[in-house]
Amino acid sequence: QVHVVESGGGLVQPGGSLRLSCAASGLTFNFYTMGWYRQAPGKQRELVATVTTGGSTDYADSVKGRFTISRDNAKNTVYLQMDSLKPEDTAVYYCNAQRHIVLTMSYTYWGQGTQVTVSS
């Protein structure tokens, strides 16, 4: 059974920081690209950041320079360090694990989400 579990969300003031963690089990962690997505009220789920098995990272333009994604393969954990938080960052943040077998086939797993609220 695959489990992907996020933690670290909460309430923070504008300009503050949070560090989200995502622990994965039941899969070979180092085979998976890990990502963070978020969904704000009334909005579609959007990509925030990804980190590949080789350590390459990608970020949404809206978070570049403020957020940092990293992974610790020994702990089967991916992190999202969020600095200089803005009210627009308020959303449910979801952890994603994805493995492409071939171009047209992949395995994807999602966590349950963790709420991040940025408000004064």
> What is the 8-class DSSP label of residue 28?
-
For the chain, how many residues are written?
Answer: 120
Q: Give pLDDT, residue 31.
A: 95
Q: What share of the chain is helix, strand, coil (3-state, %, to 5)?
A: 10, 55, 35
What is the pLDDT tens value at each position of the chain, 120 positions in all? 999 999 999 999 999 999 999 999 999 999 999 999 999 999 999 999 999 999 999 999 999 999 999 999 999 999 999 999 999 999 999 999 999 988 889 999 999 999 999 999
Please name which of 59, 74, 84, 65 lies closest in space to residue 24, comparing C-alpha atoms.
74
- Cβ distance 99 to 106 under 8 Å? yes
Q: Give pLDDT, residue 103.
A: 84
Distance between terminal CA atoms of the chain?
40
- Quickly tell me which residue has 């959007």 as its tokens: 46
Residue 107's CB is within 10 A of a number of other CB atoms, namely 13
Q: Give pLDDT, residue 63.
A: 98
Q: What is the 3-state secondary structure (H, E, C) of 37-75?
A: EEECCCCCCEEEEEECCCCCEEECCCCCCCEEEEEEHHH
